[in-house]
């Protein structure tokens, strides 16, 4: 990397309305679903959802190609029943459901029921739980619904999720909804590219910052000189160049190629949910962004977060929250004015998804401007070592190892290493496995931070009340009163220059399965040795997030692990079989940040 990125200095003059706003009438062109929305679905859902709503105990889903146009260029998408998003499936807790999936593609496909606790044979991960669904075949999923809340489903084959294959799941509690609302909307966030996802991946492998047009530039350098002095500014730039890293590596893929969608609508499409002033409206946010974190707010309207990952939480009132790939957040709002903008900007601040809450169709509220891009901080680079050192001008490398030394620190293998019962709190002692010292790892954090009260880069001290993991408290507490009997530690690793992503320095295919003993209660520690946030999804079992003191925090199926952060959660290994465990940034998973878990 050069001191002043030539990449950043040669930003193409691409049309902002094309890449950020999209088309007002963009979406699926042909092959629209002929399945009518059910009579018992709420009037709000029938009016506001751009996806069909199916309900009952039997569902028929057809996977096929459909032509779409989000940007002015017609492309082929992978759809379910001809729609993007796929139909919203409404189920009831306690029912046994049958879902028949027919593949009309020319290649194999699959459907994974994200966050649903079910037998592993029904989980829908090719090569792990089954062989997938061959062209022309129908696979029947059948399982008992033992939970309630907001979830989603998507393909686990290739890049089909990126090309449109995702939908929402809403499961009604057997005893009825705990919270009374007048309207109930699914708000599904996603990202679309006109490019072939394999070509996108090839570009990232060739040049990991290909889509990053926020690189430090000459004007940035002179601004730093005026603020910090020439020597500090030069040392800062020299440090980043020597590390071959960028302080703006916030997202691998930007609005240069992405159009951000809300319920299948580009920003100019302006998805609209109707309400009457004074009504309580539930918004079920589903983050289906293949590679995008969304920062969500509704200017002029407070949001009460009441559920995350399908699990009820003690209500917390916020102005904004970050929603990473795989996560779901349910909020309740009480709008009183005529119109409000639902604004979901990408974490790298290159684009946004947008919709409207309104008293009637055709009206809208002002759309905020994108927040300015913030650079990664000392804490993002060095964890606890960098927490109080301000910006990068005074950085040293005391809390972070950048070399590829052959002298490995004491390691921990996949099957544990801290045996014994009654482990009351996660160990803070850092153990880098021997496999981290190789070409797949470009940095290691030796003094990680363990706090959960950081909203993340771009959301700190922005003048708004922003949700953090520390704010979430699942109602009902932990699933099991037992403490951890054993600890397993995995490090999230990568090499940005090579665009390789891995666990403990080993990409999937070079690693062995992680083994859980059936019936045990174990603690998992995830230690992020990279500068990017990774939403980690463990299939088949709940992840019970712990606070830094070892107390129960929240029940999750997807946990975002921030840069230089070390988090822990407890797991009941009560689901025998083979399971997937991976980063839910699809290109990271495909590049190797994936493991198999065997419970036996």
- The strand pairing partners of 506, in sequence order, are 503
Which burial class, exposed, middle or buried, applies to 370 when counting CB atoms under 10 A from its CB (0-12, 13-18, 19+)? middle
Q: Are 319 and 303 in contact (CB under 8 A)?
A: yes
- Which DSSP helix (H) or strand (E) runs through 586? helix 586-591
What is the predicted pLDDT for the residue at 423?
A: 78
Picking from 185-194, 229-238, 543-552, which range would have the lowest pLDDT averaged per residue? 229-238
Of 284, 289, 319, residue with least CA distance to 45: 284
- Asked if residue 390 has pLDDT above 90, the reply is no
Q: With H, G, I as helix, E, B as strand and everything else as coil, classify residue 236.
A: helix
Q: Are 13 and 48 in contact (CB under 8 A)?
A: no
Of 549, 551, 541, 595, residue with least CA distance to 573: 541
pLDDT in tens, 287-297: 999 999 999 99
What is the rounded distance in angstroms from the CA atom of residue 189 to the CA atom of residue 261?
Answer: 6
- The strand pairing partners of 541, in sequence order, are none
- Asked if residue 452 has pLDDT above 80, the reply is yes
pLDDT in tens, 12-60: 444 444 444 778 877 898 544 433 333 333 433 333 447 999 999 999 9
Please tell me which residue, 31 or 469, carries the higher pLDDT value: 469
pLDDT in tens, 116-141: 999 999 999 999 999 999 999 999 99
Of 562, 573, 555, 547, residue with least CA distance to 425: 547
- The strand pairing partners of 133, in sequence order, are 109
**Count of alpha carbons within 13 angstroms of residue 350, beta-carbon side:** 27
* DSSP per-residue letters across 383-398: GGGGTTS-SGGG---T
What is the predicted pLDDT for the residue at 396?
A: 29
What is the predicted pLDDT for the residue at 23?
A: 80
| Mean pLDDT, residues 97-121 | 98
Query: Would you state the structure tokens that stand for residue 439, as one six-digit string?
Result: 């070409």
Please tell me which residue, 217 or 150, carries the higher pLDDT value: 150
What is the rounded distance in angstroms from the CA atom of residue 285 to the CA atom of residue 275?
Answer: 17
Which domains are assigned to the chain?
17-172 (2.60.40.420), 404-599 (2.60.40.420)
Q: What is the largest CA-CA distance in the chain?
A: 69
Dihedral pair phi/psi, residue 502, rounded to 5°: -160, 175
Dihedral pair phi/psi, residue 42, rounded to 5°: -65, 150
Confidence of residue 71 (pLDDT cuts 50, 70, 90): very high
Of 489, 506, 503, residue with least CA distance to 438: 506
| Mean pLDDT, residues 173-180 | 95
* DSSP per-residue letters across 518-557: TT-EEEEEEEE-SSS-EEEEESSS-EEEEPTTS-EEEEES
Please tell me which residue, 419 or 105, carries the higher pLDDT value: 105
Of 23, 17, 572, residue with least CA distance to 265: 23
Question: Cβ neighbours of residue 166 under 8 Å, at least 6 residues apart?
Answer: 85, 86, 152, 153, 154, 155, 188, 190, 288
Q: With H, G, I as helix, E, B as strand and everything else as coil, classify residue 90.
A: strand
* DSSP per-residue letters across 151-220: EEEE--STTTTTTT-EEEEEEE-TT--SS--SEEEEEEEEEEESS-HHHHHHHHHH-TTTT------HHH
Q: Are 487 and 523 in contact (CB under 8 A)?
A: yes
Query: Would you state the structure tokens that stand for residue 329, as one six-digit string?
Result: 């957040």
**Count of alpha carbons within 13 angstroms of residue 93, beta-carbon side:** 14
What is the predicted pLDDT for the residue at 241?
A: 54
| Mean pLDDT, residues 231-245 | 55
Average pLDDT value for the chain: 86
| Mean pLDDT, residues 581-600 | 98
What is the predicted pLDDT for the residue at 383?
A: 64
């Amino acid at each position: 990397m050069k001191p002043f990125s030539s990449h950043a200095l040669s930003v193409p003059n691409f049309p902002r309305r094309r890449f950020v706003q999209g088309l007002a009438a963009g979406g699926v062109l042909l092959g629209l679903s002929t399945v009518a929305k059910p009579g018992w679905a709420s009037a709000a859902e029938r009016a506001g959802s751009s996806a069909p709503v199916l309900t009952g105990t039997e569902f028929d889903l057809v996977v096929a190609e459909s032509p779409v146009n989000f940007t002015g260029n017609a492309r082929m998408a992978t759809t379910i029943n001809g729609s993007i998003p796929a139909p919203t499936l409404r189920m009831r807790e306690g029912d046994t459901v049958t879902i028949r999936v027919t593949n009309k593609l020319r290649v194999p496909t699959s459907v994974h029921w994200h966050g649903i606790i079910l037998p592993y044979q029904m989980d829908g991960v090719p090569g792990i739980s089954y062989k997938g669904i061959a062209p022309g075949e129908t696979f029947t999923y059948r399982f008992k619904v033992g939970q309630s809340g907001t979830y989603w489903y998507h393909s686990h084959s290739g890049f089909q999720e990126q090309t449109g294959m995702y939908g929402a799941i809403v499961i009604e509690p057997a005893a009825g909804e705990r919270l009374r609302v007048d309207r109930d909307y699914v708000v599904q966030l996603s990202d679309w590219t006109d490019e072939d996802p394999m070509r996108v991946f090839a570009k990232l492998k060739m040049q990991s910052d290909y889509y990053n047009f926020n690189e430090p530039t000459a004007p940035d350098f002179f601004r730093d000189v005026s603020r910090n002095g020439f020597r500090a500014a030069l040392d800062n730039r020299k440090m980043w160049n020597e590390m071959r890293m960028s302080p703006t590596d916030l997202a691998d893929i930007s609005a240069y190629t992405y159009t951000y969608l809300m319920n299948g609508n580009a920003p100019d499409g302006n998805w609209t949910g109707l309400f009457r002033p004074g009504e309580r409206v539930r918004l079920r946010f589903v983050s289906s962004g293949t590679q995008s974190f969304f920062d969500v707010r509704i200017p002029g309207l407070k949001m009460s977060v009441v559920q995350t990952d399908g699990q009820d939480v003690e209500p917390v009132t916020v102005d904004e929250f970050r929603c990473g790939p795989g996560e779901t957040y349910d909020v309740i709002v009480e709008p009183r004015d005529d119109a409000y903008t639902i604004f979901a900007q990408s974490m790298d601040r290159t684009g946004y998804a947008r919709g409207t809450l309104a008293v009637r169709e055709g009206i809208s509220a002002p759309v905020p401007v994108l927040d300015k891009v913030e650079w990664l901080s000392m804490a993002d680079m060095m964890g606890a070592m960098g927490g109080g050192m301000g910006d990068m001008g005074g950085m040293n490398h005391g809390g972070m190892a950048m070399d590829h030394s052959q002298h490995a620190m004491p390691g921990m293998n996949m099957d544990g290493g801290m045996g014994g019962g009654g482990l009351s709190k996660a160990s803070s002692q850092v153990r880098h496995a021997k496999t981290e010292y190789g070409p797949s790892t470009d940095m290691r954090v030796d003094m990680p931070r363990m706090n959960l009260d950081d909203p993340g880069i771009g959301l700190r001290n922005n003048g708004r009340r922003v949700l953090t993991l520390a704010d979430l408290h699942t109602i009902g507490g932990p699933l099991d009163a037992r403490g951890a009997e054993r600890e397993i530690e995995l490090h999230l690793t990568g090499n940005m220059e090579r665009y390789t992503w891995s666990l403990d320095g080993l990409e999937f295919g070079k690693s062995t399965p992680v083994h859980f003993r059936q019936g045990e209660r174990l603690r998992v520690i995830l230690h992020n040795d990279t500068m990017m946030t990774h939403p980690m999804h463990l299939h088949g079992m709940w992840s019970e997030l712990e606070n830094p003191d070892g107390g129960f925090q929240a029940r999750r199926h997807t946990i975002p692990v921030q840069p230089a952060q070390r988090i822990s959660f407890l797991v009941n290994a009560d689901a025998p079989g083979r399971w997937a465990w991976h980063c839910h940034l699809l290109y990271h998973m495909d590049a190797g940040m994936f493991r198999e878990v065997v419970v036996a």
